[in-house]
Amino acid sequence: MKAFALIITSDSVFKGVVNDEITPIVEKALEEGDYQLVHRVVVPNDVYAIRGAVADAASRADVVLVTGGTGLSPRDVSIEAVKSISSKELPGFGEVFRLKSLEQVGLNAMLSRASAFLVGSSLVFVTPGSPQAVRLALELILPVVGHALAQARGEPHRH
């Protein structure tokens, strides 16, 4: 069973102004596979808070999903936070995410900075914070997690 962590970056969810719609989506997707949600935290849109949360989650889980903070506003800093503690960037995830998003949201898909990184030996995926985006991200992530983790941990490639 693969350990999964969820980090929701949202000032409004953190303050309790808006309800968390993401956790139920993640829990439902994970229960259908070989995954267990071992850690969940909500943090404000702050580089230091996100960086600390990701470092902690990566020490607990094989896969970390960071939702929110991928847009263009000054408070959208999730990519910068994760990138600063990563050893590798996995641009393919963002490319495929934007391609699939094009079908759902049209040309606005190119405004997303969704991406993936390696932090320690954990995969960290950073996605927009909308329920629709999180569902799409999980559809893309879950089928490749096993193979990606094996590569990240230096196991022989399976073709």
CB 141 within 8 A of CB 149: no
Radius of gyration (Cα) for the chain, nearest Å?
14
Model pLDDT for residues 134-159, shown as the tens digit of each residue: 999 999 999 999 999 999 988 876 66
Q: Tally Cβ neighbours within 10 Å of residue 155.
A: 10
What beta strand segments (E) does the chain contain?
2-9, 35-43, 63-67, 88-89, 115-119, 122-127
Average pLDDT, the chain: 95
Say whether 111 sits in a helix, a strand or coil: helix
Measured distance CA(7)–CA(68) in Å, rounded = 9
Mean pLDDT of 92-119: 95
In this predicted structure, the answer to whether residue 33 has a pLDDT above a threshold of 90 is no
- Per cent of the chain over pLDDT 70 is 98
Both tokens of 75, joined, read 């408070």
Cross-strand pairs, 5: 39, 64
φ, ψ of residue 92 in degrees (nearest 5): -60, -35
> In which element (H, E) is residue 84 found?
none
- pLDDT band of residue 72 (cuts 50, 70, 90) is very high
CB 159 within 8 A of CB 49: no
> In which element (H, E) is residue 65 found?
strand 63-67
Cross-strand pairs, 63: 4, 123
| CATH class entry, domain 2-152 | alpha beta
The residue extents of the domains of the chain are: 2-152
